[in-house]
Amino acid sequence: MSTGSFKPKNGALRWFDDRLPILSLVHGSLGAGYPAPRNLNYFWNFGSLAGLCLVIQIATGIVLAMHYTPTVAGAFNSVEHIMRDVNYGWLLRYIHANGASMFFIVVFIHIFRGLYYGSYKAPREVLWMLGVVILLLMMATAFMGYVLPWGQMSFWGATVITNLFSAIPLVGDQIVTFLWGGFSVDEPTLQRFFSLHYLLPFVIVGVVILHIWALHLPGSNNPLGIDVKGPQDQVPFHPYYTAKDALGVGVFLIFFGLFVFYMPNSLGHPDNYIPADPMVTPAHIVPEWYFLPFYAILRAVPDKLGGVLLMFAAVGLLFFLPWLDTSKIRSAIFRPAYKMFFWLLVVDCVVLGVVGAYPPEGAWILIGQLATAYYFAHFLLILPILGKVEKTKPLPQSIAQAVLGDKAGAKPAAQPAE
Amino acid sequence: MRIKKTFILGLVASLGFANLGLAPSALAAGEAVKLKDIEFSFEGPFGTFDRAAAQRGFQVYREICSSCHSAQYFAFRNLEGIGYSEEMAKAIAAEYQITDGPDDFGDMFERPGKLSDRMPAPFPNQNAARAANGGAYPPDLSVIVKARPGGADYLYSLLTGYEEPPADIELAPGQYYNAYMAGHKIAMPQPLYDDMVGYADGTEATVEQMAKDVTVFLAWLAEPSMEQRKSIGFSFMIFMSIFVVLLYLTNRRIWRPIKKGAMPWVGKDEKA
Ligand code: HEM
């Protein structure tokens, strides 16, 4: 494969690349110079889709920010001004608001892909942990973005979530005052959230670069979860995966477009079209759908501090996943028992999401507590034990062997195409 | 292969589930009363606003609702969006007196409305509005259709939902019973009665008719760009569908030899 030896054909470009090898960099990281396993399935599209989401959020967000006013008196009006008076402002805003949901859908699938195929295991632990950092940054960014239109859910969501920090012993109240920049969610809060909402996506860009760097050392994992043994197991990224990723982008944009053009408000809460009013508390304060599972965990514990700790632990736990899972086999394909537990975890997360949407009354409380307990049991009990006791299936000899069968044997590794 | 299919099915199912989970959160605020389901022309992927209905609705809004409710994002120039000509919109604007200024002497003055003006609010501020309505605030109606679960159906149901209160419900003075209001108690007296407005086009002004018309008007006001959104969406979908088919064919063609085990890139380096 043509790593390292890249030379642009055009003389001027070659001159430039000798002085700043940026074309070589692209060639080696997204081009023909980057080898990827030949058997990646469509779940490997979600990484590039997440990158696309980030670019879309930044591009639309920068234009929105040109028309948006981060003041208590002006925020709601400026969003309606964007919707009504700015040319294609409604389109920008609907892309940005639904784009946040699309981003989370893509990233959640991306994460569960990693869980299913064991992509967090050696040598990809740091890559995985950087992914968890990105998830945390996304959550912070989306939370603060949702405050900006200054509707009822913006205001009350911000109030509920920032208030959580008051549960921290001794310094809790000081921290909350510090976050608010005052004694309630008010103008200073809105302005700092706007500033940070503008900043954090660029921090995410930085971590994404590290994430990709960490990816390119070992290269992609694959559905079989076995290491690449030689060039016959691989294809150059370009044109094979650029074409496949482009197809994924096309399908994704259709899905995205269905929301933007035909149900732009279906993922939002109607209350957020009511201007924020500190005197009127909404009947039920619910976060955006992507926070619902975490919200359910938060409310599973009657004690505020306990709930907050548990909620942070639910994400924090993921940092330790590479060591909690004791199995050396990566892919669930060869771990029948793990495969079952994986699907139970998926169901459990969906249940948590449903619980998070309902007020904590009656049976929902118990269901929420059981689902929370199971979530932690999956990572803290089942995974460590399972790796030691489960019976796994035999691994194939190589990717090429598994994918091509006899055809692989027929063609020696270094045979030219002609 | 089977695994891939289960995975996809599973994810689709869980997304579906997640959606079920969302529904109640949106409904919770309005309690689970079944709304009247009206067929509006603006529903569906190709729906457009019925201009005649929206104009009648504007009349209802002007003659009835606007004595209590503001619509602060509504400018007279917007009237062209529901089929009024520029001349007619100018004439309607001129019927309103707008406070402008300060003039060269520092005084505020009144002048007839222009296209660029917003519809004047009935009360100078929230407190004045509350004082005039027994302490309840008549919300701004600009985005009301987007601000309630059920949207247009809710608004229509609310306007036609005034009933005799059941025996076990106690109403305070200034409270009315409405089958669709959260908690069934509303501080807005029934705003619509038969023949309250005289429609120029001869349509009979029943409560249902006026409720429907004003709902069309307010649905338009909540999102004047809806028709543009759907028409751009349609072009986008057509374009993307063709594009995706091409991408699919390209991808399949690029991969075909690879699936058979060929490695066309091997040896390319040395030649280049
Ligand atoms: C990680 C990427 C991002 C995410 C997940 C995100 C998420 C969000 C969300 C959920 C909202 C509320 C949408 C609504 O209901 O109106 C929002 C609003 C907003 N965002 Fe972002 N955003 C991102 C990047 C950016 C960037 C880079 C900028 C600016 C440079 C930006 C500027 C804005 C502005 C001005 C608003 C308020 C306007 C509005 O509410 O529509 N965003 N964002």
- On whether residue B240 sits in a domain, the answer given is no
Distance between CA B176 and CA B179 in Å, rounded?
10
- On whether residue B1 sits in a domain, the answer given is no
A219-241: pLDDT as tens digits: 999 999 999 999 999 999 999 99
Q: What is the torsion angle, in degrees rounded to the nearest 10, for the CA atoms of residue A231, residue A237, residue A238 and residue A241?
A: 120
- Give pLDDT, residue B186: 96
SS3 A354: helix
Cross-strand bridge partners of residue A36: A235
Q: Do B254 and A240 touch (CB under 8 A)?
A: yes
Q: Taking each helix axis from N to C terminus, what angle separates A336-357 and A89-117, rounded to the nearest 10 degrees?
A: 150
**Number of domains comprising chain B:** 1
A187-199: pLDDT as tens digits: 999 999 999 999 9
Q: What is the torsion angle, in degrees rounded to the nearest 10, for the CA atoms of residue A331, residue A333, residue A336 and residue A342?
A: 60
Q: If 0-12 CB within 10 Å is exposed, 13-18 middle and 19+ buried, where does residue B127 land?
A: exposed
**Taking phi first (over 0 means left), then psi (-120 to 50 degrees means alpha), and beta for anything else, what does residue B31 get?**
left
Closest residue to A257, CB basis, from B14, B237, B262? B237
From-to residues of CATH 1.10.287.980 in chain A: 287-403
Nearest in space to B154 (alpha carbons), one of B71, B211, B238, B83: B211
* Arithmetic mean of pLDDT over chain A: 94
- Give pLDDT, residue A404: 86
A72-130: pLDDT as tens digits: 999 999 999 999 999 999 999 999 999 999 999 999 999 999 999 999 999 999 999 99
Q: Do B28 and A417 touch (CB under 8 A)?
A: no
CATH ID of A287-403, from 3.30.70.100, 1.10.287.980, 3.30.70.3270, 3.20.20.150: 1.10.287.980
Residues 6+ apart with CB under 8 A from A363: none
Which among A79, A137, A143, A197 is the best mutation to test ligand 1's pocket, defined by most ligand atoms within 8 Å of the CB? A197
- Residues in B 220-249 with any Cβ partner in A closer than 8 A: 222-225, 228-230, 232-234, 236-237, 240-241, 243-244, 247-248
A-interface mutation test, from B20, B22, B33, B43, most A Cβ less than 10 A away: B22
- Please report, in range form, the residues annotated as the binding site of A for a ubiquinone: 216
Nearest in space to A354 (alpha carbons), one of B17, B203, B135: B17
- On whether residue B254 sits in a domain, the answer given is no
Q: How far is the CA of B226 from the centre of ligand 1 (A)?
A: 21
Structure ipTM: 0.91
B-interface mutation test, from A2, A259, A280, A299, most B Cβ less than 10 A away: A2
Fold of the A37-228+239-266+275-285 domain? Cytochrome Bc1 Complex; Chain C (1.20.810)
Of the pLDDT bands very low, low, confident and very high (cuts 50, 70, 90), residue B116 is very high
Could you tell me the CATH number of the domain that includes residue B30? 1.10.760.10
Please give the number of the atom of ligand 1 that sits closest to the Cα of A201: 1
Could you tell me if the CB of A58 is within 6 A of ligand 1? yes
- Give pLDDT, residue B23: 41
- On whether residue B224 sits in a domain, the answer given is yes
Distance of CA A368 to the CA centre of its chain: 23
Task: Give B60's Cβ-side CA count (13 Å radius).
Answer: 29
Q: Are A224 and A399 in contact (CB under 8 A)?
A: yes
Q: Do B240 and A84 touch (CB under 8 A)?
A: no
Residue ranges making up the domain that contains B171: 8-229
Concatenated DSSP letters of B140-208? --TTTTTSSTTHHHHHHHHHT-B-PPPTT----TT-EEBSSSGGGEESSPP---TTSS--TT-----HH
A174-191: pLDDT as tens digits: 999 999 999 999 999 999
- Give pLDDT, residue A93: 98
Of the listed ranges A106-115, A256-265, B1-10, the least confidently predicted one is B1-10
Q: Taking each helix axis from N to C terminus, what angle separates A336-357 and B2-28, rounded to the nearest 10 degrees?
A: 10
Give the CA distances from residue A143 to residues A149, A159, A175, B86, B236, in Å, rounded to whole numbers and listed in that order.
12, 12, 18, 43, 30
Of the pLDDT bands very low, low, confident and very high (cuts 50, 70, 90), residue A407 is low
Nearest in space to A328 (alpha carbons), one of A219, A235, A181, A227: A227
Look up residue A105 and give its two tokens: 């859908």
From-to residues of CATH 1.20.810.10 in chain A: 37-228+239-266+275-285
Stretch B148-169: mean pLDDT: 95
- Give pLDDT, residue B5: 53
- Give pLDDT, residue A406: 65
Phi first, then psi: what are they for B60, rounded to 5°?
A: -60, -45
Annotated binding residue B210: no
- Give pLDDT, residue A322: 98
Stretch A7-34: mean pLDDT: 92
Look up residue B172 and give its two tokens: 């305070």
Q: How far is B267 from chain A (nearest CA, A)?
A: 6
Stretch A340-365: mean pLDDT: 96
Q: How far is A350 from chain B (nearest CA, A)?
A: 6
Distance between CA B186 and CA B158 in Å, rounded?
10
- On whether residue B200 sits in a domain, the answer given is yes
Is the pLDDT at A385 greater than 90? The verdict is: yes
Distance between CA A261 and CA B235 in Å, rounded?
11
B9-63: pLDDT as tens digits: 544 544 444 444 344 433 444 446 899 999 999 999 999 999 999 999 999 999 9
Residue B148: CB atoms within 10 A of its CB come to 23
Distance between CA A166 and CA A140 in Å, rounded?
18
Look up residue B183 and give its two tokens: 């908690």
Residues of A taking part in catalysis = 216, 220, 244-245, 288
- On whether residue B236 sits in a domain, the answer given is no
- On whether residue B265 sits in a domain, the answer given is no
Residue A410 corresponds to which amino acid?
Answer: A
Is the pLDDT at B271 greater than 60? The verdict is: no
Q: How far is A178 from chain B (nearest CA, A)?
A: 31
Stretch B173-184: mean pLDDT: 94
Residues from chain A that touch B152, judged by Cβ atoms under 8 A, are none
Q: How far is B56 from chain A (nearest CA, A)?
A: 22
Q: Do B17 and A350 touch (CB under 8 A)?
A: yes
Annotated binding residue B65: yes
- On whether residue B247 sits in a domain, the answer given is no
* E strand spans, A16-144: 35-37
Is the pLDDT at A267 greater than 50? The verdict is: yes
Residues from chain A that touch B266, judged by Cβ atoms under 8 A, are 231, 414-417
B62-94: pLDDT as tens digits: 999 999 999 999 999 999 999 999 999 999 999
> Cis peptide leading into A239, omega within 30 of 0?
yes
Q: Do A415 and B266 touch (CB under 8 A)?
A: yes
Of the pLDDT bands very low, low, confident and very high (cuts 50, 70, 90), residue B249 is very high
Q: Do A284 and B3 touch (CB under 8 A)?
A: no
